[in-house]
Amino acid sequence: MYLQVSSFMQSLRIADPLIIGEILLAKKLYSNLQSARVNAQKKLNALVALGQLQKGTGYYRTLDCQSEYKEHSRLITKALAEVLKLEVQSTIFREIAIPEVGLRPDAICLLTKDDRGYCLILEVCNNETPEYLQSKINTWSNWQEDTLYLSKLFGYKIPHYEIVPITVMDGFKSFLREAL
C-alpha cells in the first residue's frame, strides 16, 4: 500500500489525505472514505518519516515540489485525482516547463487501455483570462514539433492530443467518463 500511495504522490506532486483516500476508495482498496482517508494519512506520514515526502499544513508534497497547495494547485490535484481514479493506465507530467515554446501546462497525461492511448493537455482555468487560455491553445496549435515532443516525453507515438480546459470539476468528470 505504501508503494501505491507513493506512486499516487509522484503523479500528483502535492495532495491532502482526503484526495489520496478518494483514490484508494475508487481503486476499491478500502470500503469507505473515512477508513481510506485515515489510512492514507498514516501512509503519508510514514513516507514523510522515511524522507520521501514533505509535510505542509494540511497537505503533503514530493521533495521536488515547491507549491504551497493554494487554490490553483488544489484544483490541478483534484483533476489529476480524477484521472488516477480511472480504470486505465495513466502517465502524468504535472507543470513541466517546455522552454522551446514557453509553455508550462498544468498537466500532460497519457491514458492507455488495451494498447490504445489518449493524450490530454489539462489546463485548470480558475483564474486565467480567456485570452491567456487562447494564447496557450494557439501556441500548441502553431508548434510544428508538438507531437514529436509528446512522443519523446511518453516514449509512445502520440499522433494527436486534446487540450482540455477545466472550468468545472463535475464537467471534467463527465468528460472523462464520455471520452473513455
CATH number for 134 = 3.40.1350
Q: Which residue has the cell 464520455?
A: 178
- pLDDT bin (cut points 50, 70, 90) of residue 50 is very high
Are residues 24 and 50 both part of a single domain?
yes
Q: For residue 73, how far is the Cα from the chain centroid?
A: 10
Res 113: pLDDT:
86
pLDDT at 116: 86
The whole-angstrom separation of Cα 19 and Cα 8 is 10
Q: Which comes out higher in pLDDT, residue 72 or 168?
A: 72
| Spatial contact of 29 and 98, defined as CB atoms under 8 Å apart | no
- CB atoms under 10 Å from CB of 140, counted, come to 17
Of 67, 95, 121, which residue constitutes the final position of a domain? 67
φ, ψ of residue 90 to 5 degrees: the values are -130, 140
The domain tally of the chain equals 2
Could you tell me if 40 and 82 lie in one domain? no
C-alpha of 82 from chain center: 8
Range 87-116 average pLDDT? 94
**Nearest residue to 56 (alpha-carbon basis) of 6, 15, 7:** 15
Q: Are residues 19 and 104 in the same domain?
A: no
* Mean pLDDT within 153-177: 92
Q: What's the pLDDT tens digit per position in 107-149?
A: 999 999 888 899 999 999 998 889 999 999 999 999 999 999 9
Quote the pLDDT of residue 168. 85
pTM over 0.85: yes
Say how far apart CA 48 and CA 105 lie, in whole Å: 28
Same domain, 92 and 159: yes
Residue type, 151: S
72 falls within a domain? no
- Examine the domain organization and report whether 115 and 82 are in the same domain: yes
Q: What is the maximum span of the chain, computed from C-alpha positions, in angstroms?
A: 49
What's the whole-number average pLDDT of the chain? 95
pLDDT at 114: 85
Does 97 lie in the same domain as 59?
A: no
Provide the domain limits for residue 25. Answer: 2-67
Spatial distance between the Cα atoms of 50 and 168, rounded to a whole number of angstroms: 36
Indicate if the pLDDT at residue 1 is higher than 80: no
State the DSSP H helix or E strand holding residue 123, giving kind and residue range, or none if neither: strand 116-124
